Chains A and B, each alone.
Chain A
Amino acid sequence: MKWIVGSFLAIAAAMLCFSFCAGRNNKGRAINCIGSTSIQPLAEMLSQEFDRQHPESIVEVQGGGSTAGLQAVAENIAEIGMCSRSLKDDEAGRFRGIPIALDGLAVVVHPDNPVSNLTKAQIRDIFEGRITNWKQVGGADATIWLITREEGSGTREAFVKLVMEAKDKPAAKAGQPASAPADKAGAAQAPTQHPNHRISRKAMTQESNGAVKELVKHNRGAIGYMSLGLVKDELKILAVDGVYPSLDAVTAKKYPLVRPFLYVVKSTPSQGAQAFIDFTLSAEGQHMLVKEGLISVR
């Protein structure tokens, strides 16, 4: 029995020692990348290739979200933040955003859904909960199930900015029947502020592109939005304002829902971080991103 206790303690001691010593040695070299979960897998992929080419450096990629990434950069926890939306005005002053790729925001529905084109105004009304049945937009007689991303997600913020808060012809709105009761409680309490930009309370919230995809794939009435590069061919992508988000349309900026993927740094990044940024922007890095369905910034 004694040897069990003995070996247990020995292993414990060894592990603790090792972990603390090793910790001291390694700390300085890692370049931390924290931020958007939409960019995280891409950055992981880039960092693996980068590490392979530069064995002396280590790039560590963490998720957490666009906002968390910015915070991490501000607090010097991370050298590079990853942000899947444009910087807001107050943020633009404090950080430098480096676009690494463009990503289309795809509005997706079940493959069997007959609807294949919606206007921005229609999408907005759907997500506000004012259009609740597919037949109101020319589809089958079926309930619309909204699927959105969580509050604070870069994808959601980009969607809100590009669709919900976008200004367009007021005529489209006047044509909508005001009968559908949308968001009664919220509207009653905040009649003046943000009367129209809220995503309906009925929307189901999912925490990742994959979860949105999974839900839409299995629900004939569902509509959601996600990163274009991740849709592949399992879902039906809607044309917005008559423009289908093909590679050409997105590149030519004809498709209206496009957001940048940014690396965010404070004024001057360290040499290692700069090397990683350069790698991302190099032909090779960009090629890897294009292979994942993104649009190169070059």
Chain B
Amino acid sequence: MRLSPATSQRLAVTFLWTLAAATMGLLLFIVAFILVQGMPYVTWEFLSQSSRSMGREGGIFPMIVGTLWVAGLAVMIAAPVGVITAIYLTEYTREGKLTHVIRFGADCLAGIPSIIFGLFGFVFFVITLGMGLSVISGALTLAMMVLPTIIRTSEEAIRAVPASYRDVSYGLGATRWDMVTKVVLRSALPGIGTGIVLSIGRSISETAAVMLTAGSALRLPSSAFDSARTLALHFFILSREGISMPKAYATASVLILAILAINLTAYWVMQRFVAKAR
């Protein structure tokens, strides 16, 4: 049987819209499910107290600090490296074997599963370099994980800077370095910012790699050499050990809200960037 073009059009469009609606429904369901179950337990005490008796009572303050430490340090390390790589790839070299190799390396890094990063971090940072299960081991591992994202987004942002900007600054007698730092980076900053914000999101939600490198100590980390438990790992432990479901849902709510805020920020920065570019 052959359908008339009009019928097949109608069928296909209905089907596709159903798929899209199902996806959106799923997203809303996941977010709503967690928030409905968890938000009643998110109180100021929950956010500001340390946890007692394995997390069954008290709050998640040490995990919030731990997450900020690990994710913050990871991005602090990855951002400069990533942006510099992007600058090199776009402004300081011509397309050739070398750029292909660097991009290939970055793309491959992007595809490696987090558990492999975890294994690597465990052998290299934790054992070989003797950093132990600590914030710094976790941060370095995560930095390697988010590096490709930062390189990619920065590269795109830098490429989007109109060539005329560069011509003008050369015309005014600027050196290449001046041109890059004073002109190109300045206009590419929002795009680079988006990449960085998204990387923070990825670091926050990572679990497997952090478990093997940053450890799971419940105490407030007082230095980068202390072990810390991140929110995602805390949620995993709470729910898997069956310690306290309300606390688990509440932790997940905090995580989801943080991710939501981060994505909105990234989106907002990007919109401003696009608006300005026009």
Contact = CB atoms under 8 A, between A and B. Distances in A.
Q: Do chains A and B touch in the complex (CB under 8 A)?
A: yes
Contacts of A27: 225
A19 B241 contact: no
A26 interface: yes
B133 interface: yes
Contact of B242 (A8, A37, A44, A210): A210
B186 A23 contact: no
B222 interface: yes
B100 interface: no
B54 A23 contact: no
Contacts of B79: 8
A210 B52 contact: no
B217 A22 contact: no
Interface stretch (A60-68, A175-183, A249-257, A276-284): A60-68
Nearest to A75: B127
Contacts of B73: 15-16, 19
B241 A208 contact: yes
Contacts of A230: 242
B243 A16 contact: no
Nearest to A209: B241
Contacts of B226: 23, 26, 30, 60
A58 B227 CA distance: 12
Contact of B227 (A60, A207, A211, A214): A60
A62 B227 contact: yes
Question: Would you call the interface of chain A mostly helix, strand, loop, or mixed?
Answer: helix
B242 A77 contact: no
A19 to B, nearest CB: 3
B189 A1 contact: yes
Given A1-B189, A62-B216, A41 B243 contact: yes
B241 A41 contact: yes
A213 interface: yes
B54 A41 contact: yes
Contact of A58 (B133, B219, B243): B219
Interface residues of B, number: 33
B242 A214 contact: yes
A60 B242 contact: no
B265 interface: no
Given A23-B223, A26-B222, A77-B132, A210 B243 contact: yes
Interface in B5-53: 52-53
Given A4-B189, A25-B223, A44 B54 contact: yes
Interface in A1-36: 1-2, 4-5, 8, 11-12, 15-16, 18-23, 25-27, 30
B76 A16 contact: yes
A19 B227 contact: no
Interface in B174-189: 185-186, 189
Contact of B223 (A11, A19, A211): A19
Contact of B186 (A1, A16, A19, A62): A1
Interface string B90-121: 00000000000000000000000000000000
A210 B239 contact: yes
B135 interface: yes
Interface of B: 52-54, 69, 72-73, 76, 79-80, 132-133, 135-136, 185-186, 189, 193, 215-219, 222-227, 239-243
The 8 A-B pairs of least Cβ separation, nearest first, read A210-B242, A19-B224, A22-B223, A210-B241, A23-B225, A41-B54, A23-B223, A12-B76
Interface of A: 1-2, 4-5, 8, 11-12, 15-16, 18-23, 25-27, 30, 37, 41-42, 44-45, 48, 51, 58, 60-63, 77, 207-211, 213-214, 230
17 contacts: A4-B189, A15-B72, A15-B76, A18-B223, A19-B69, A22-B222, A23-B136, A25-B223, A41-B53, A44-B54, A44-B218, A58-B219, A207-B240, A208-B241, A209-B242, A210-B243, A211-B240
